[in-house]
């Protein structure tokens, strides 16, 4: 399959089956804005839950937060975002469109071949105004990353949790950047979600902590997201190309159909942020080691993950087309199947009575209600069973449970496995435990 085809297929499947809709569609849309539809919302929730469990809940050294999107503008002065968070833009002298200089292949306008101006800086911060007047005295910004909220709360967290270093503060939340060149579906948008954590350390430990997190990140992609690790590129950012404050940065890149590009990253940010917040706020942010009495500004290792990019990768990795036997002897057809890791699948179990007849729904509906207590369940009694299986394959449902006329006699149902398409007869009384077992690995 050509790579561009794959993106088109994913975007079309997302619309058709309800993963992602174009934003504000009934008004003609809004370029590069997307809405997570019912299944996309569930998938995103599952990715966030899995991320949280893996990087926060299962560890003893992380504490959660949920900080404000609009913060005191001094935060962004301290972090350098107001001065430096910008792209270099050139403008076409003929059609006046603007482009990111670093993404242009030639010194001519890609739209109309016109000549280009010298590059100018364009700040990516989203401005807004507090209160009722829109003058500069009320200017505020939507956060471009969640990190700021965690840095400024370091001392508060330390006081209430009585933690010792090393420990991390983690959060997931929406961020906003006035991107010049959004695009590639949900890859680059102006509104997106980040999951990230600031891991506060003694500077002497940074190399070992960095390696530890690299190892955990690998485990996340291999064991939890279950992606083909050959599709990842571990890009060690060389000296001279890193942010001035970073001593080591690794961009984790992915081989997207539109090229090898960033998926997420990890950076050793030294004590840059804590130093700047200490300077600008005038507050003492130093840490005193209770055992050794050593006093220092904490240094930070920061792993950061774009939630929407993780979701895009999970869609790309899950997409499969398989030749399967068709209805007629010797003929085959293509089945599209989204092979999400079972625990990430938006719908875990589909309950499908063989027909709409009341005697079957009388059994199937209460069964679905019972399963809903433990699983995300869809009940579907329309169309032929073959078509319903195909639909569940396309949305990645790991198990379909079919209630047929034999079920009325033997109190058993047929469970079909999404990946193998094998079917098993299971007693209704055992079904809950059978499925729980399947999802526990
Ligand atoms: N605190 C560090 C930080 O914000 P970043 O590389 O600028 O680092 C973190 O952003 C992650 O957020 C990226 O690795 C990417 O996954 C995601 N991301 C950044 N800009 C994005 C955008 N415009 N649309 C979607 N995701 C984006």
Task: Name the residue with the closest Cα to ligand 1, atom 4.
Answer: 145
Same-domain status, 202 and 58: yes
192 lines ligand 1 (CB under 6 A): yes
Are both 266 and 359 inside the same structural domain?
Answer: no
Same domain, 254 and 398: no
Other Cβ atoms closer than 10 A to 133:
9
Ligand 1 centroid, distance to 69 Cα (angstroms): 15
Identify the H or E element spanning 428.
Answer: helix 428-439
Query: What does the alpha-carbon distance between residue 305 and residue 314 come to, in Å, rounded to a whole number?
Result: 13
Beta-strand relationship, 191-201 and 299-306: antiparallel
- Say how far apart CA 52 and CA 191 lie, in whole Å: 21
340 falls within a domain: no
93 DSSP 8-state letter:
T
| 194 and 248 share one domain | yes
Residues 291, 174 share a domain:
yes
193 pLDDT band (50/70/90 cuts)? very high
Strand residue runs (E) in 270-404: 287-288, 295-296, 299-306, 319-325, 332-338, 349-353, 377-379, 399-403
Which residue CA neighbors atom 18 of ligand 1 most closely?
A: 306
Residue nearest to atom 11 of ligand 1 (CA): 306
Question: Is the distance from the beta carbon of residue 265 to the nearest atom of ligand 1 less than 6 Å?
Answer: yes
* Domain closes at, from 267, 291, 315: 315
When pLDDT is cut at 50, 70 and 90, the band that residue 205 belongs to is: very high
Q: Is 287 a member of any domain? A: yes
Which CATH number characterizes residue 158's domain?
A: 3.30.930.10
Based on the domain organization, do 306 and 407 belong to the same domain?
no
- For ligand 1, whether the C-beta of 367 sits within 6 Å is no
pTM: 0.94
What is the pLDDT, as a whole number, of residue 1? Answer: 62
3-state secondary structure of 198: strand
pLDDT tens digits for range 214-249: 999 999 999 999 999 999 999 999 999 999 899 999
Is the predicted pLDDT of residue 62 greater than 70, yes or no?
Answer: yes
At 338-381, the pLDDT tens digits run 999 999 999 999 999 999 999 999 999 999 999 999 999 999 99
Ligand 1 centroid–CA 173 distance in Å is 12
Query: Is 33 within 8 Å of 189 (Cβ atoms)?
Result: yes
Token pair 């050593």 is at which residue? 294
* Axis-axis angle for helices 3-17, 307-318 (nearest 10): 100
SS3 61: coil
The reply to whether ligand 1 has any atom less than 6 angstroms from the CB of 181 is: no
Neighbours of 315 (CB within 10 A): 25
Does one domain contain both 248 and 289?
Answer: yes
Q: Are 423 and 401 in contact (CB under 8 A)?
A: no
Distance of CA 30 to the CA centre of its chain: 21
Q: Which of 315, 332, 365 is the last residue of a domain?
A: 315
Q: Which residue has the tokens 């899950």?
A: 318
Task: Look up the domain containing 436 and give its range.
Answer: 347-440
Structural domain includes residue 226: yes
Same structural domain, 155 and 278:
yes
86 lines ligand 1 (CB under 6 A): no
**β-strands 377-379, 349-353: how paired?**
parallel
Is residue 91, in this structure, part of any structural domain at all? no
Atom of ligand 1 nearest to the CA of 177: 23
| Pair 356, 271 in one domain | no
Mind listing the pLDDT tens digit for each residue in 277-332? Answer: 999 999 999 999 999 999 999 999 999 999 999 999 999 999 999 999 887 888 99
Q: Are residues 299 and 356 in the same domain?
A: no
Same domain, 424 and 279: no
Greater pLDDT, 400 or 327: 400
**pLDDT band for position 93 (cuts 50, 70, 90):** confident
What's CA 229's distance to the chain center, in Å? Answer: 17
Does the residue 119 lie in any domain? no
When divided into structural domains, the chain yields a total of: 2
Q: Nearest residue CA, atom 17 of ligand 1?
A: 306
- Give the Å distance between the CA of 244 and the centre of ligand 1: 18
Q: Which residues contact 314 (CB under 8 A, 6 or more apart)?
A: 43, 47, 225, 227, 340, 344
The answer to whether the CB of 353 is under 6 A from ligand 1 is: no
Mean pLDDT of the 106-135 span: 87
Q: Distance from the CA of 86 to the center of ligand 1, in angstroms?
A: 14
d(CA 321, CA 205): 47
Per the domain annotation, does 421 fall within a domain?
yes
Pairwise CA distance, residues 236 & 373, whole Å: 46
Ligand 1 pocket residue status of 196, Cβ below 6 Å: yes
Query: Which residue, 265, 293, 315, sits at the end of a domain?
Result: 315
**Rounded to 10 degrees, what is the CA torsion of 347, 305, 316, 393?**
-10
CA of 188, closest atom in ligand 1: 24
Q: Tell me: cis bond preceding 166? Omega within 30 of 0 counts.
A: yes
In a domain, 7, yes or no: yes
Residue 327 lies in a domain: no
Pocket probe for ligand 1: among 181, 265, 308, the residue whose CB has the most ligand atoms within 8 Å is 265
Distance, CA of 6 to CA of 259 (rounded, Å): 13
CB-ligand 1 contact for 304 (6 Å cutoff)? yes
Do 285 and 404 lie in a common domain?
Answer: no
CATH of the domain at 397: 3.40.50.800
Q: With a 6 A CB cut-off, is 198 part of the ligand 1 pocket?
A: no
Distance CA 221, CA 232 (A): 9
Three-state DSSP class for residue 62: strand
């Amino acid at each position: 399959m050509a790579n561009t085809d794959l993106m088109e297929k994913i975007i079309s499947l997302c619309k058709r089956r309800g993963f992602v809709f174009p934003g504000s569609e009934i008004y003609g849309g809004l370029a590069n804005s997307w809405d997570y539809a019912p299944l996309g919302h569930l998938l995103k929730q599952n990715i966030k839950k899995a991320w949280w469990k893996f990087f926060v809940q299962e560890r003893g050294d992380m504490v959660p937060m949920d900080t404000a999107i609009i913060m005191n503008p001094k935060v962004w002065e301290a972090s350098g975002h107001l001065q430096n968070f910008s792209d270099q833009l050139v403008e076409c002298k003929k059609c006046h469109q603007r482009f990111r200089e670093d993404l242009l292949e030639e010194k001519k306008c890609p739209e109309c071949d016109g000549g280009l101006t010298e590059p100018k800086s364009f700040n990516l911060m989203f401005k807004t105004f507090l209160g009722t007047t829109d003058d500069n005295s009320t200017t505020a910004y939507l956060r471009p990353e969640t990190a700021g909220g965690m840095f400024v709360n370091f001392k508060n967290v330390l006081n209430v949790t009585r933690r010792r270093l090393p420990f991390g503060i983690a959060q997931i939340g929406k961020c906003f950047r006035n991107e010049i060149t959004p695009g590639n579906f949900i890859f680059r948008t102006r509104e997106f979600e980040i999951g990230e954590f600031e891991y506060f350390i003694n500077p002497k430990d940074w190399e070992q902590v960095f390696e530890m997190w690299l190892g955990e990140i690998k485990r996340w992609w291999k064991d939890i997201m279950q992606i083909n690790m050959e599709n990842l590129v571990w890009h060690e950012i060389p000296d001279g190309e890193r942010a001035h404050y970073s001593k080591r940065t690794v961009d984790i890149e992915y081989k997207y159909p539109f090229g090898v590009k960033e998926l997420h990253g990890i950076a050793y940010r030294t004590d840059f942020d804590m130093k700047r917040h200490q300077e600008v706020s005038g507050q003492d942010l130093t840490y005193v080691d209770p055992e050794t009495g050593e006093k220092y500004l904490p240094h930070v290792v920061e792993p950061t993950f774009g939630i929407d990019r993780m979701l895009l990768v999970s869609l790309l990795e899950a997409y499969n087309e398989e030749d399967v036997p068709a209805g007629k002897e010797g003929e085959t057809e293509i089945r599209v199947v989204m092979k999400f890791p079972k625990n990430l699948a938006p719908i875990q179990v589909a309950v499908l009575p063989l027909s709409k007849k009341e005697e079957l729904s009388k059994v199937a509906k209460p069964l679905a209600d019972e399963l809903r207590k433990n699983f995300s369940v869809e009940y579907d009694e329309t169309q032929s069973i073959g078509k319903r299986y195909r639909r569940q394959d396309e949305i990645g449902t790991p198990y379909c449970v079919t209630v047929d006329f034999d079920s009325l006699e033997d109190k058993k149902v047929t469970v079909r496995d999404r990946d193998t398409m094998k079917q098993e007869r299971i007693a209704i009384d055992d079904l809950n435990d059978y499925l729980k077992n399947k999802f526990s690995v």
